[in-house]
């Protein structure tokens, strides 16, 4: 087996996270970043080697919002090399559902529960405005 390793884009996961109270839809959960780039973002983060994307997205949601979510489906994959100002990051986006009260995680990000009509599109970082637009228009 070869020992050469390819240099591929960095890999992240993000969640379009819907919050429910029984059968009532309460809104979607966004986090406010305390590190650059500043702004609102979908819950998510980099994938570690050795973990599946499904585990990674549920772990990130838990860490950032305190919520135990369920994955509903794969929404899309975003790979424009300019979507992250730092380096090339490909994001795999899942639709997730959760119940309960979101709380800011250990990394002290603030969390926001937002009605679909109140999404702050102009304050979303990366291409998260496009991701949410694709979701809303699908």
Q: Is 76 in the site for a second copy (CB under 8 A)?
A: yes
Question: Do residues 28 and 120 make contact, with C-beta atoms less than 8 angstroms apart?
Answer: no
Residue (of 17, 10, 9) closest to 94 by Cα position: 17
Q: Examine residue 137 and tell whether it contacts a second copy (CB under 8 A).
A: no
124: DSSP letter: B
List the one residue from 51, 101, 103, 118 that touches a second copy (CB under 8 A): 51
| Helical H segments across 16-80, by residue range | 53-65
Pick one of 21, 48, 107, 118: the residue that binds a second copy (CB under 8 A). Answer: 48
List 24, 49, 108, 138, residue binding a second copy (CB under 8 A): 49
Cβ-contact 94, 57 below 8 angstroms:
yes
* The two three-digit tokens of residue 37, written as one number: 């780039």
90 sits near a second copy (criterion: CB under 8 A): yes
Give the range of 26-34, 64-72, 84-92, 107-115 binding a second copy by CB under 8 A. 84-92
120 phi and psi, to 5 degrees?
Answer: -80, 75
Q: Which residues bind a second copy (CB under 8 A)?
A: 1-2, 5-12, 35-36, 46-54, 74, 76-77, 79-81, 85-88, 90, 92
């Amino acid at each position: 087996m070869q020992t050469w390793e390819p240099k591929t884009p960095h890999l992240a996961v993000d969640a379009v996270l819907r919050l429910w109270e029984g059968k009532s839809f309460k809104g979607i959960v966004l986090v406010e970043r305390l590190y650059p780039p500043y702004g609102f973002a979908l819950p998510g983060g980099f994938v570690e080697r050795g973990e599946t994307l499904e585990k990674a997205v549920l772990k990130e949601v838990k860490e950032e919002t305190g919520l135990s979510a369920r994955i509903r489906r794969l929404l899309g994959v975003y790979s424009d090399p300019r979507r992250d100002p730092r380096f090339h990051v490909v994001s795999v986006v899942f639709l997730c559902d959760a119940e309960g009260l979101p709380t800011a995680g250990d990394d002290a990000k603030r969390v926001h529960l937002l009605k679909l009509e109140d999404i702050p599109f102009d304050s979303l970082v990366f291409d998260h405005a496009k991701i949410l637009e694709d979701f809303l228009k699908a």
